[in-house]
Amino acid sequence: GWEVTTILPDQNGDISAESVLAAVRPDTALVSVMMVNNELGSIYPIADIAKGLKAVNEKTLLHTDAVQGFLKVPFSAKALGADFIAISGHKVGAPKGIGALYIGPRVRNPRPLLPGGGQEMGLRSGTEATAQIAGFAKAVELRWDHLEDKLHHMAEVKAYAVEKLTAIPDLQIIGSGKAPHVLSVSMAGWPSQNVVNDLGSQGICVSAGSACHHGKSSQVVSALGLPKRVAAGVIRLSFGPETTFAEIDACAEALRNHHDHRMPML
């Protein structure tokens, strides 16, 4: 029964606060914008959107999926200004299946998806996954230690990857993502799944998009309006604190060999 308005990104995958705020109406209940795009590494202006909403419609709540931003693009809940901030453990080394939702002070008496569980103040049914929660907390503690150094290293690795990969014929960077841990590229004419399989056989793990769209064409890539040959060749590289420059060299060599020794199919 709700009417949903969708904001499209520009050709670089960016979304401006102005375009989001322009779509807000007097009856808009919620705005939801991810913090960091998981395929392009684009960082979206959540704090600016939060500030603008106060002037446009102070009753409108703001939700952000910060799964790819948590401990990758530093923020504080107070400075960000969002009413809901969702994070997940598996992106920072915690067990899969555990996450957290920050609920700001403007939200009173939130209704749970699954009612029940008086022992959980009525917010969830069932017993808490204690081991996963503890694992999440420990992973955050470990990642937080010398976090600034880790983010600097990831940014350097990404910059090195851009330098190495753009020297490969037909390869181009997709989007203008500034996050230090995600890089999207394409080799026009070489289908992404073929590239993923070829590199995977050499022990190099890249992806043809996000797990959320496995088996389907990426909505993110489609929204960019890229030429068909380019869009079909998009792959995503991800970096972590443990990623080395030697691994980037190996990936670049594998991509160059794929280009030089495989026939394009598009």
Distance CA 234, CA 232 (A): 6
Q: What is the DSSP letter of 118?
A: G
Same fold, 17-144 and 147-261: no
| Residue for token pair 């555990």 | 98
- The Cβ of residue 207 has, within 10 Å, a number of other Cβ atoms equal to 18
List the one residue out of 176, 171, 163 whose CA is nearest residue 41. 176
Q: What is the DSSP letter of 3?
A: -
Alpha carbon of 183 to those of 11, 144, 173: distances in Å?
16, 23, 8
The structural domains of the chain, with segments of one domain joined by +, span 17-144, 147-261
If phi > 0 it is left, if psi is from -120 to 50 it is alpha, else beta; for residue 117 that is left
Q: Active-site residue 251, yes or no?
A: no
- In this prediction, residue 217 carries a pLDDT of 66
Instruction: Quote the crossing angle between the two packed helices 245-261 and 192-200, to the nearest 10°.
Output: 120
Written as tens digits, the pLDDT of the chain (266 aa) is 899 999 999 999 999 999 999 999 999 999 999 999 999 999 999 999 999 999 999 999 999 999 999 999 999 999 999 999 999 999 999 999 999 999 999 998 888 888 877 778 888 888 889 999 999 999 999 999 999 999 999 999 999 999 999 999 999 999 999 999 999 999 988 999 999 999 999 999 999 865 555 556 688 888 899 999 999 999 999 999 999 999 999 999 999 999 887 767 65
- In this prediction, residue 127 carries a pLDDT of 83
pTM to 2 decimals? 0.91
**For domain 17-144, which architecture applies?**
3-Layer(aba) Sandwich (3.40)
The tokens describing 121, both together, are 């103040």
Catalytic residue, candidates 115, 212, 222, 265: 212
- In this prediction, residue 178 carries a pLDDT of 96
Which stretches of 98-191 are DSSP H helices? 130-144, 147-165
Let me know if domain 147-261 sits in CATH 1.25.40.10: no
- In this prediction, residue 214 carries a pLDDT of 57
For residue 95, how far is the Cα from the chain centroid? 18
Contact 210/38 with Cβ under 8 angstroms? yes
For residue 68, how far is the Cα from the chain centroid? 4
Using alpha carbons only, how large is the chain's radius of gyration in Å? 20
